[in-house]
Amino acid sequence: MAEFDQELDASGLNCPLPILRAKKTLNGMDAGQILHVIATDPGSVKDFDAFSKQTGNELMESKEDGGKFHFMIKKA
């Protein structure tokens, strides 16, 4: 897994909490920094894709590993 600056574990949380927590965490980060989000909500895959497209924060990686979803988001 690539390097990241901050990690957010949103495991067990359901829509829309992973997105809201991610947004909140990104607010406290600098442009160019990378946030690693871990989630268990299957809906989060499409949601983080949509979040990235609409906010301009780049979704560098989105993958499933052992029942968990991992997202790498670079703050715009």
Partner 1 sequence: MDEKKLAIIATKGSLDWAYPPFILASTAAALGYETQIFFTFYGLQLLKKKLALEVTPLGNPGMPMPMGMDKWFPVLGLALPGMQGMMTAMMKQKMKSKGVASVDELRELCQEAEVKLIACQMTVDLFDMDQSEFIDGIEYAGAAAFFEFAGDSDICLYI
Q: Based on CB atoms, which residue is closest to partner 1, 4 or 43?
A: 43
Q: Identify whether 15 is a catalytic site residue.
A: yes
Q: Based on CB atoms, which residue is closest to partner 1, 33 or 55?
A: 55
Give the separation between CA 29 and CA 15, rounded to whole angstroms: 23
Say how many residues touch partner 1, by CB under 8 A. 15
Residues 19/46, Cβ–Cβ less than 8 Å: no
Backbone angles phi, psi at 5, to 5 degrees: -95, -35
For the segment 23-52, give every residue that binds partner 1 (CB under 8 A).
23-24, 40-41, 51
Any idea which residues carry the catalytic annotation?
15
